[in-house]
Structure formats: C-alpha cells, structure tokens
C-alpha cells in the first residue's frame, strides 16, 4: 500500500472508532442537561455542602446564604435531574447527593479548572 493510502486507512479507522465511542443522543442530552444544572454556582454550593453531610433546607439556606424558598426551588430542579435525594425523619426532610458520581463530577471539574 502507498503511504497516502495507509494514512487514509488509519484515519478512517480512527474516525470510525471515535464515532463508535460517542453515546446515543438521549444519553448525550441527559449529560448536557446534567452539566447545565451543575453550571449554576448556587447549585454547586449546595452540592459541596451535601457532599459533606445530609442537611435540611434550613441548614442548606444558612450554609449557602440564600432563603429557604430559594433552596427548595433549587432542590426541586436538582431532584428532577437525580443530583440529590432525600429522606424523611419525622417531620424533617434531609437532603443528600444522589450518589457518589455527583461528587466525582464536581471534584474532577475542580481539578480541571485548578490546573495551570
């Protein structure tokens, strides 16, 4: 095979492999929506707080520095995107990150933006 033909074949194989690595459209849309929700500074603060401890709305409001109503609004959005979950204990509701992957995403992002 000539050099240019070999290069073309290698590039085609690489391109095909790269194309196969791209997830389906529904998965990509979900990932994009997750990043969009995590793109809000207030929601990131809530995630950082919940990565340490499960907290009630009042505690989250105090830590993040916004009203309980604003926290509730943010938590609704975050629950819809499966970023947070909750448990009830009597009359109290405690929120926590939905799973360890949420904390992983944020920590990897922090490492990325901290690199020089």
pLDDT score at 107: 93
Alpha helices in the chain (DSSP H): 3-20, 25-38, 41-52, 57-64, 68-80, 100-114
Instruction: Answer yes or no: CATH 1.10.10.10 is held by domain 39-114.
Output: yes
| CA atoms of 71 and 92, how far apart (whole Å) | 15
- Give pLDDT tens digits for 33-45: 999 999 999 999 9
Round the average pLDDT of the chain to a whole number and report it.
Answer: 92
pLDDT score at 3: 62
- Give pLDDT tens digits for 73-91: 999 999 999 999 999 999 9
Would you say residue 1 has pLDDT above 60? no
pLDDT score at 52: 92
**Using the 8-state DSSP alphabet, how is residue 23 labeled?**
P
Q: What is the rounded average pLDDT of the residues 8-31?
A: 89
Q: What is the rounded average pLDDT of the residues 45-54?
A: 96
What is the bridge-based pairing of β-strands 92-97 and 84-89? antiparallel
Instruction: Enumerate the domain spans of the chain.
Output: 1-28, 39-114
């Amino acid at each position: 095979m000539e050099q240019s033909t070999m290069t073309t074949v290698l590039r085609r194989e690489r391109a095909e492999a790269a194309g196969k690595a791209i997830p389906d459209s529904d998965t990509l849309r979900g990932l994009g929506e997750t990043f969009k929700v995590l793109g809000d500074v207030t929601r990131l603060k809530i995630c950082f707080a919940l990565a340490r401890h499960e907290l009630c709305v009042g505690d989250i409001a105090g830590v993040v520095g916004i009203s309980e109503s604003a926290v509730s609004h943010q938590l609704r959005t975050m629950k819809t995107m499966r970023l947070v979950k909750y448990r009830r204990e009597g009359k109290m509701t405690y929120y926590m990150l939905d799973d360890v992957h949420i904390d992983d995403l944020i920590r990897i992002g922090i490492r990325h933006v901290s690199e020089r």
